[in-house]
Structure 1
Amino acid sequence: MIHARSGPVDPEPDISVRPPLVRELFLVAGLFLVYKLGRLAANGHVEEAFRNAGHVWDLERVLHLPDEGAVQGLLLHGHTLVQAANTYYYYATVHFPATLVFLVWLYLRRPRHYVWSRRVLAVLTGAALALHLLFPLAPPRMLPAADLVDTGRVYGPSVYGDTPADDSLANQFAAMPSLHFGWALAVAVGLVVATRSRWRLLWLLHPLVTLLVIVGTANHYWLDAIVVTVLLSVAYAALRPPARTHRPRRAPAGQAAPPATIPAPGAYASGTGTQVSGTGAFEAGTGMCASGTGVSGTGAYGAGERTTRARLPGIRTRRTPELPARAPRAHARSGARR
C-alpha cells in the first residue's frame, strides 16, 4: 500500500496580490496629508457652522432621535469614566493607531482584503472631506441650545485648541460626518470579513463604543454617525469584497490527520491466485494482478518471482514484504474418484 500525507496546512498569504510596500507607504502618507489639509481648509466658517448646528439639532428633535444629553449623563457619574471616554476619543490613543494596526495586519496576512479596505477608507474619507467643505458644522458642545458639557475642556484630556476658529491642529467645525465613527465601523467590518473566528462579530463593539464616546463627549450628533454610515454603505456597494478562498479544515489539537491510502499498482501473485492491492485478500482462479484502477495482467509474475512495482510520481511508497514462493500442486479433475 502507498501512504500519502493529507494533513491540512494553513495556506500562506497570497503575496502575488500584495502591493509594493514603498508605494503603499507613500500612498497612505499622501492620503493622510490630504485628510489633514482638507479638514484645515474647511476651518473658519464660524457663522455658517453654528447656523447649520441649529438646523441639525432641530432636525434630530423632529426625527425623535435620542437626546445626546442622556448619553452624557451616564458618563458624568464619575471622573474616571468621563476621562476614559475623552482618552478613547483622543486621536493618538485609539482613532489613528487602531486604523494603522488594522491596515498593517491586513497587508501582512490578508493582502486581498488590504487592497479592498484601503480603497474603502480612501473613498469614505474623500466623501467626508467634501461634506466638511460643503457643510461646516459646529459640534453640540458649542451649541448653547444643546446645553451639553465640553468634557474634554472640563475634565481632560482635550483634543482641540482653545479658539476653534484659529485651531491649527484640527477643524472643530468638521462634525458632519463623523470620521471617528466611520473609520471605526470600517475597521470592524473589514475584520469581520477578513477573519473566520466564531467570535469575529465582537469586532463590532469597537464602533459601538466609539459611537457612545463621540456622542457622550458632545463632539458629534447622532446624525453625524448616521450620515457616515450611509457613505460607508455606498462605498461597500461600489467596492465588492474579495471572494473567500477555501481552506482545508484543521485536525484537532494533538491529533495527526489520517494518511490517505492509495492502492499500489502491482502485487505479488502465486500460480493459483492474485492478491488484491490494498485489501489483503486473494482472488482465487484469476491468475492476474488487480490494481487500484482496474485489472491488469502486467504486474504479476510466476510463483517465487518478485513483482516489478511502478511508482506513482510525487508519492512516497512503502515496500511490500516479499511473500515466500510456493510450489504448484496438482489438482484432480472433478469426476475422477480415487
Structure 2
Amino acid sequence: MHARSEPAAAPGEPDAHQRPPLIREFLLVAGLFLVYKLGRQLATGHTAEAFRNAHRVWHLERVAHLPDEVSVQSALLHGQTLVHLANTYYATVHFPATLAFLVWLYVRRPAHYVWARRVLAVVTAAALVLPFTFPLAPPRMLAGTGLVDTARVYGPSVYGPPAGDHLSNQFAAMPSLHFGWALMVAVGLIAATRSRRRWLWLAHPLVTLLVIVGTANHYWLDALAATAMLGLALAVIRPPRPTAGTARRSPDRVPAPAPVLVGAGR
C-alpha cells in the first residue's frame, strides 16, 4: 500500500501547510495592535520628567551635529498642501500599511509572515517598556525650538490636548514605532520577494522618517532608537531561508512597490 502524496504547490503559490490558522493569527495580530494602544496608557504621567528628557535629547542631537528638525519642517511649510499631506500620512498610513503587509505575507509568503509577526511583536513589546524608564515629550511640545505643531495648525490631527487624551500617551515619543514598523515593512518585503525593484520599498520608511520629523512628532533619535531595536530583533529572529520554489518565482508575479502616498503612531 503506497503512501498518499500531497500535490505540490504551483509556482508562486504559498505552501498551505506552512500557513498558520487564520482565526488564531487574526486574534494574535489584533492583540498586538490592542497591546500597542493600551500598553502606552500604562506609561502615562511623568510630565515634568518627559520635558526634562526632551531638552536632553534636543541638546544631545545638537552636540552630535544631527540635522536640525526645524530645517525639515521648513521644507514642509513652503506650501499648506504639502504639510497637510504630511499630517495625513502620519495619521492614516501607519496602521493600514502594516496590516496590509502582514495580510500579503500571510497569503503569499506564510513562512515570512510568521517571522515578520514575531519581529513586530518583539519590537512593539520593547517599545512599550521604554516610556516607563524614559518618558519623552515630542518636539512639537518643546518651547524655544521654533517648531510648529503642524497637525494642530494645519490638520488633520490624531491627538487632542495631552491632559484630556485618553487614547494615547503623548509623552512616549521614543522610540518611534511609526518608523520602526515602516522599516520592518520594507525589510520584510525585500526579504520575501525577488523583484529587482523590491529595494524601492525603502521609500516607505524614508518618507515616514521625513514625515515624523517634519511634523515635529519625533526627534531623529526616536527613529535611531527604533532602528536599533529592530536590528536586535532581526539579529535574534532570523528570516526563513528561500526555498527552491521561491527562487524560481518570476519577478512579474511579485508585487512591485506602489507609489508612496504622502498622506501612518507613533
Q: TM-score, normalised by structure 2?
A: 0.88
Secondary structure of 1:173 counterpart:
coil
Displacement of 1:250: 7.1
For residues 30 and 232 of structure 1, the distance between their equivalents in structure 2, rounded to whole angstroms, comes to 20
Equivalent residues of 1:185, 1:204 under 8 A apart: yes
1:139 alignment partner in structure 2:
138
1:150 alignment partner in structure 2:
149
1:109 alignment partner in structure 2:
108
The structure richer in strand per residue is 1
1:10 alignment partner in structure 2:
11
Equivalent residues of 2:135, 2:172 under 8 A apart: yes
For residues 34 and 156 of structure 2, the distance between their equivalents in structure 1, rounded to whole angstroms, comes to 24
For residues 145 and 123 of structure 1, the distance between their equivalents in structure 2, rounded to whole angstroms, comes to 36
Give aligned-pair identity as a percent: 72
1:56 alignment partner in structure 2:
57
Q: Which runs of 5+ in 1 are unaligned?
A: 1-8, 254-338
Q: How does 1:219-258 map to 2 (within 5 A)?
A: 219-247=217-245, 249=248
When residues 29 and 250 of structure 1 are mapped into structure 2, their CA distance, relative to the original with a 3 A threshold, is: closer
For residues 15 and 145 of structure 1, the distance between their equivalents in structure 2, rounded to whole angstroms, comes to 57
When residues 250 and 142 of structure 1 are mapped into structure 2, their CA distance, relative to the original with a 3 A threshold, is: closer
User: C-alpha offsets along residues 1-46 of structure 1, whole Å, 9 cap, x if unaligned?
Assistant: xxxxxxxx62421111111111111111112211111111112221
1:334 alignment partner in structure 2:
none
Displacement of 1:249: 4.9
2:5 alignment partner in structure 1:
none
Q: How does 1:23-62 map to 2 (within 5 A)?
A: 23-62=24-63
Tell me which stretches of 4 or more aligned residues in structure 1 moved more than 2 Å. Answer: 247-251
Q: TM-score, normalised by structure 1?
A: 0.69
Displacement of 1:166: 2.8
**2:202 equivalent among 201, 204, 229:** 204
1:192 alignment partner in structure 2:
190
User: C-alpha offsets along residues 284-318 of structure 1, whole Å, 9 cap, x if unaligned?
Assistant: xxxxxxxxxxxxxxxxxxxxxxxxxxxxxxxxxxx
Aligned amino acid, residue 157 of structure 1 = P
Aligned amino acid, residue 229 of structure 1 = T
When residues 195 and 22 of structure 1 are mapped into structure 2, their CA distance, relative to the original with a 3 A threshold, is: same
Q: How does 1:265-280 map to 2 (within 5 A)?
A: none
Equivalent residues of 1:44, 1:166 under 8 A apart: no
Secondary structure of 1:136 counterpart:
coil
User: C-alpha offsets along residues 269-291 of structure 1, whole Å, 9 cap, x if unaligned?
Assistant: xxxxxxxxxxxxxxxxxxxxxxx
The structure richer in helix per residue is 2
When residues 246 and 167 of structure 1 are mapped into structure 2, their CA distance, relative to the original with a 3 A threshold, is: same
**Number of aligned positions between the proteins:** 242
When residues 61 and 101 of structure 1 are mapped into structure 2, their CA distance, relative to the original with a 3 A threshold, is: same
Equivalent residues of 1:110, 1:194 under 8 A apart: yes
1:80 alignment partner in structure 2:
81
- Which has the higher Rg, Structure 1 or Structure 2? 1
For residues 207 and 139 of structure 1, the distance between their equivalents in structure 2, rounded to whole angstroms, comes to 19
When residues 11 and 72 of structure 1 are mapped into structure 2, their CA distance, relative to the original with a 3 A threshold, is: closer
Equivalent residues of 1:44, 1:165 under 8 A apart: no
For residues 39 and 108 of structure 2, the distance between their equivalents in structure 1, rounded to whole angstroms, comes to 32
For residues 31 and 208 of structure 1, the distance between their equivalents in structure 2, rounded to whole angstroms, comes to 24
